[in-house]
Structure 1
């Protein structure tokens, strides 16, 4: 299955110019459908979670196949689908909002805004904890929001774009460990791990290519320490590239995780958020250029 490389590149340009659509965002619509479906299907069972994820992801794939059959390799249709599944620009904008708040000493504002980037409990976080949360989120989501959609768009066309975003959205909704979703969200979380395996490592490699030997060294040494099979590759590469130390204690709704540290540098500071955002954008454009050149 082939997709228009020009369409993917134009979609990246649209995301860079406009960010996420302000109204009638298809991903938000999918999230509403998924929330409604959860009310009907939910049970403390892996099998119910398999059915839930299978039906929703299969539906997204069917829409993608239908669009591709109608539009073929249309540059505009591919661009539109690419635009709505990407989130790199919105990720960068949220990172810069957090940078401005933290640089201005507005800790309460930063705590209130953190949920736009991650599910970490912000209530007990000081400035250092907030900065680390933002840098880690920018690193991980460079793959989730930008590189992975491009990889799957290149591999499987419009269906690949829509299936990837459906899986990633479900993982964000039900894929985290909690008493409610430990079993029900298992299928969504494992699908997300599988679809992000290659993109996360590609993201880490691109970060290291831009940044040099320290990033390669930390990526190779520390990337596997993270409890996620994918997030650690991105975070370790960013830690080495920025010369900072990531990892540590995180709290998610009363659940505490103690993660190994990655990197040999100092603790990240507010100014490092801007550096992380810039690096994320560079990696996104590099990934887009590589995908375009391969089509």
Structure 2
């Protein structure tokens, strides 16, 4: 069974079942186990001198562990490979989390804040409705790349080992890849490798969002993406902003401090509602279907 066939099966299984609560309430999700491993490395090695060198060593260790686990899982046969890939993909769970923000916002601003706080790291206590909707849409776009297209891409390229390595590095970046006094040096390698691994998938995700929406001005998307502080996250955000005709990014607060980030697609509509979140969810599914079609074409040709 080819990798493309395995990926098609995994994409469909994830879209159908998502993250079964009854299962992950009883056993630790692999992403949780990855987080525990990275947390342990952070506590053990992120101290003293040569923190950047120690961080590089930890990333090499994670790549080795991920590759070894992936190879082991690959020996268990195609069913195990499909299940592993489906578990590490996140299309349905992403849609569900974003939809909860829309549902909460329809109930009240306070409920919208509570729901969006579950999917973003920025300050949410003082958000108004537009900021809540904008945050949810940005999260939808970024996590389509990080949680669906990128892991699927690396599975297609390198099978289960590629998928597991990607998820470990992406998790490491989300935990230690920040330019804070504690993690600036230790998390440098994780952040740079995550940037490299997402270089192609982020741009692919932008195309998967833009093209089904009839947005063919890729120069404008590239220009908007350059406004983002991340070399990769700006691409799916820029495509989503163009697809919906809205402005994304812009000023937001972290740890009580307002950051004056520029808008992506600054000429887009700046007043957003739960309806716009619904529209972003529709775009997630359009992009997912287009990616599935590409996988089928890869199988045929």
Q: TM-score, normalised by structure 1?
A: 0.92
Partner residue in 2 for 1:81: 84
Conserved in 1, the CA contact under 8 Å of 2:19 and 2:87?
yes
The Cα of 1:108 is off from its aligned counterpart by 2.2
Matched, 1:42 2:41: no
Matched, 1:101 2:101: no
Partner residue in 1 for 2:17: 18
Matched, 1:4 2:3: yes
Conserved in 2, the CA contact under 8 Å of 1:150 and 1:287?
no
- Deviation by residue 1:4-27 (Cα, 9 ceiling, x = unmatched): 222111111121122124313111
Matched, 1:283 2:287: yes
How many Å separate the matches in 1 of 2:170 and 2:288? 18
Between 1:218-227 and 1:239-248, the stretch displaced more is: 218-227
1:239 to 224, 237, 241: 241
Between 1:182-191 and 1:240-249, the stretch displaced more is: 182-191
How many Å separate the matches in 2 of 1:288 and 1:149? 14
Instruction: Please identify runs of 4+ aligned residues in structure 1 that moved more than 6 A.
Output: none
Conserved in 1, the CA contact under 8 Å of 2:73 and 2:81?
no
Q: How do 1:111-122 and structure 2 match up within 5 A?
A: 111-122=113-124
How many Å separate the matches in 2 of 1:147 and 1:168? 13
**SS of equivalent residue, structure 2 residue 251:** strand
- Deviation by residue 1:229-280 (Cα, 9 ceiling, x = unmatched): 1111111110010010112112222454322212222123221101111111
Matched, 1:54 2:56: no
Conserved in 2, the CA contact under 8 Å of 1:147 and 1:203?
yes
- Deviation by residue 1:201-251 (Cα, 9 ceiling, x = unmatched): 001111111111366453133121111111111111100100101121122
Matched, 1:266 2:269: yes
**SS of equivalent residue, structure 2 residue 127:** coil
Partner residue in 1 for 2:70: 64
Conserved in 2, the CA contact under 8 Å of 1:3 and 1:154?
no
Conserved in 1, the CA contact under 8 Å of 2:106 and 2:112?
no
- How many correspondences in the alignment? 290
Closer, same or farther: CA 88–119 of 1 in aligned 2, 3 Å: same
How many Å separate the matches in 2 of 1:28 and 1:48? 23
Matched, 1:184 2:153: no
**SS of equivalent residue, structure 1 residue 119:** coil
Conserved in 2, the CA contact under 8 Å of 1:208 and 1:241?
yes
1:32 to 30, 33, 36: 36
Unaligned runs of 5+ residues in structure 1 are none
**SS of equivalent residue, structure 1 residue 213:** coil
Once superposed, what is the RMSD of the aligned Cα atoms?
Answer: 1.8
Conserved in 1, the CA contact under 8 Å of 2:224 and 2:238?
yes
How many Å separate the matches in 2 of 1:118 and 1:3? 36
How many Å separate the matches in 2 of 1:283 and 1:36? 36
How many Å separate the matches in 1 of 2:215 and 2:93? 30
How many Å separate the matches in 1 of 2:298 and 2:196? 23
Partner residue in 2 for 1:129: 131
The Cα of 1:47 is off from its aligned counterpart by 1.5
Unaligned runs of 5+ residues in structure 2 are none
Q: TM-score, normalised by structure 2?
A: 0.90
